[in-house]
Amino acid sequence: MRVIVVGSGIVGASIAYHLAAEGAEVLTVDGADQGQATAAGAGVVFPWLLRGTPPSMTALGLGAAEHYPRLVEALVAAGVDDTGYVPVGGITVAEDGPMLDEMHDALLRLREQPQMVGLGEVERLAPGEPAGAFPVLRDDLAGLYVSGVVRVDGRRMRDALAQAAAAHGAERRSGGASLTVAGSGVTGVAVDGETIGADAVVVAGGAWSRALCEPIGVALPVFPQRGQILHLDLPGHDTGSWPIIRTLYEHYLLAFPGGRVVAGATRESGVGFDHRVTARGLHKVLTDALAIAPGLDDGTVAEVRVGFRPLSPDGAPLLGGIDGLDGLVVATGLGPIGLTLGPYLGALAADLALGRDAPLDLTPYRPDRPVPHHSDRPDHTVSDASQSS
């Protein structure tokens, strides 16, 4: 069976890997649009969830929690060990007080459920303890530690999946694709004037998926939400194993090896694909970061990444076919949690492209479901890899 995957962010790369590993003939086409979300994403992986996310996401989150470690093991077993996936744990920081106590109790209750086992240890931290683990933090902040939180470098995970797909024979092509249709079915894609046929085409074009499907009369409810995210370097700091720091609000800090600290991120709807670092965006991210981590004030500004989260109006992804149109599977719309759920969404999409049933009810994710009215999508409050702790 020949399948074309349009888009090679974390979702498309996962689809290609899972298809190729099942013996399908795979071609990935990627247009390298400026602002690929995967290349800009922070890297908080917290699938258990999910304050502020729709209840329909629970099944996906639990599936992803189970799938991710298995996927990483399979990649490593196949000789692809630079996955960027590191369980460093996470601390939610706040002023000491009842809010953290309540969250602590809620997480302990959650952890008793068998499917939440990956949450790991949950520990209430006294004022000053978070700064012991993440030394640039304010030392009056208390916290809540969860050992199961994982840091993933989206670029490395994407490339690891693509490398593993290639090892199974998947091919790759650069260029913008458009869909080709005959009768009531999608027959393949056109790239640079060349038509390439396939038994199935999977749309994994992130925030650009709407533009890809519009010419064939399919109006996908997915819109770009801009994220500006700041990378700072702290020479001399051994940051590789620092935990992820989350707040009760939308900002967070991650550390990567080599003194790199990442502070995220803006959530801007209604700006289309405007790929700029703005004064307001940078100010917001920097102000939020320094408010909890004054020790960053001497950091070197290394870069600001800008990405477009593929956001649906109801916050749930788009996964499945379109009624009346054969040969097409859509897999996108993960908004702020695509580095967390993307690899699993990719596995499910691969199953659908191969004509298999998914192991969960996909009705809430139908790409042609009714969704709230959208005028370039107002903000909603789900944070990057959001949520409960």
Ligand X SMILES: Cc1cc2nc3c(=O)[nH]c(=O)nc-3n(C[C@H](O)[C@H](O)[C@H](O)COP(=O)(O)OP(=O)(O)OC[C@H]3O[C@@H](n4cnc5c(N)ncnc54)[C@H](O)[C@@H]3O)c2cc1C
What HEC string does 289-349 produce?
HHHHCHHHCCCEEEEEEEEEEEECCCCCCEEEEECCEEEEEEEECEHHHHHHHHHHHHHHH
Task: Report the residue from 3, 37, 330, 352 that binds ligand X according to the rule CB under 6 A.
Answer: 37
Q: Which residue number, 46 or 145, has a Cβ lying nearer to ligand X?
A: 46
Is 204 a binder of ligand X (CB under 6 A)? yes
CB burial of residue 328 (10 Å; 0-12, 13-18, 19+): buried
Q: Which residue number, 165 or 212, has a Cβ lying nearer to ligand X?
A: 212
Q: Which residue number, 40 or 94, has a Cβ lying nearer to ligand X?
A: 40
Angle at 104 between CA 99 and CA 108, to 5 degrees: 150
363 pairs with which residues across the strands?
none
Task: Report the residue from 94, 165, 263, 334 that binds ligand X according to the rule CB under 6 A.
Answer: 334
Under 8 Å CB-to-CB from 207, ≥6 apart: which residues? Answer: 35, 37, 222, 223, 224, 225, 273, 308, 309, 310, 311, 332
Task: Report the residue from 2, 31, 171, 180 that binds ligand X according to the rule CB under 6 A.
Answer: 31
Q: Which residue number, 129 or 228, has a Cβ lying nearer to ligand X?
A: 228
Under 8 Å CB-to-CB from 39, ≥6 apart: which residues? Answer: 9, 154, 155, 158, 305, 307
Residue 272 CB, nearest approach to ligand X (Å): 14
Q: Which residue number, 234 or 265, has a Cβ lying nearer to ligand X?
A: 265
Q: Which residue number, 131 or 334, has a Cβ lying nearer to ligand X?
A: 334
CB burial of residue 247 (10 Å; 0-12, 13-18, 19+): middle
State the amino acid at position 191 in one-letter form. Answer: V
Is 12 a binder of ligand X (CB under 6 A)? yes
Angstrom CA distances, 24 to 2, 141, 291, stand at 6, 52, 50
Is 28 a binder of ligand X (CB under 6 A)? no
Is 8 a binder of ligand X (CB under 6 A)? yes
Is 118 a binder of ligand X (CB under 6 A)? no
Is 29 a binder of ligand X (CB under 6 A)? yes
In 3D space, the residue among 38, 376, 374, 373 whose CA is nearest the CA of residue 205 turns out to be: 38
Counting Cα atoms < 13 Å in the Cβ hemisphere of 118 gives 19
Angle at 349 between CA 346 and CA 351, to 5 degrees: 115
Is 177 a binder of ligand X (CB under 6 A)? yes
Task: Report the residue from 310, 320, 321, 367 that binds ligand X according to the rule CB under 6 A.
Answer: 310
Part in contact with ligand X (CB under 6 A); list of ranges 7-15, 230-238, 292-300, 318-326: 7-15
| Tokens (6 digits) for 68 | 């991710």
Show the binding pattern over residues 154-173: x = contacts ligand X (CB under 6 A), - = does not: x-------------------
Residue 298 CB, nearest approach to ligand X (Å): 24
Q: Which residue number, 154 or 295, has a Cβ lying nearer to ligand X?
A: 154
Is 224 a binder of ligand X (CB under 6 A)? no
Is 10 a binder of ligand X (CB under 6 A)? yes
Measure the CA–CA gap between 164 and 159, rounded to whole angstroms. Answer: 8
Part in contact with ligand X (CB under 6 A); list of ranges 41-49, 101-109, 192-200, 295-303: 41-49
Task: Report the residue from 337, 347, 352, 353 that binds ligand X according to the rule CB under 6 A.
Answer: 337
3 pairs with which residues across the strands?
26, 200
| Tokens (6 digits) for 63 | 């599936």
| Residue ranges in 359-388 that form contacts with ligand X under rule CB under 6 A | 384-385
Measure the CA–CA gap between 348 and 358, rounded to whole angstroms. Answer: 6
Measure the CA–CA gap between 317 and 364, rounded to whole angstroms. Answer: 8
Show the binding pattern over residues 251-280: x = contacts ligand X (CB under 6 A), - = does not: -------------xx---------------
Is 111 a binder of ligand X (CB under 6 A)? no
What residues line the site for ligand X (CB under 6 A)? 6-12, 29-33, 36-38, 40-44, 154, 176-177, 204-208, 212, 227, 229, 264-265, 307, 309-310, 332, 334-340, 342, 384-385
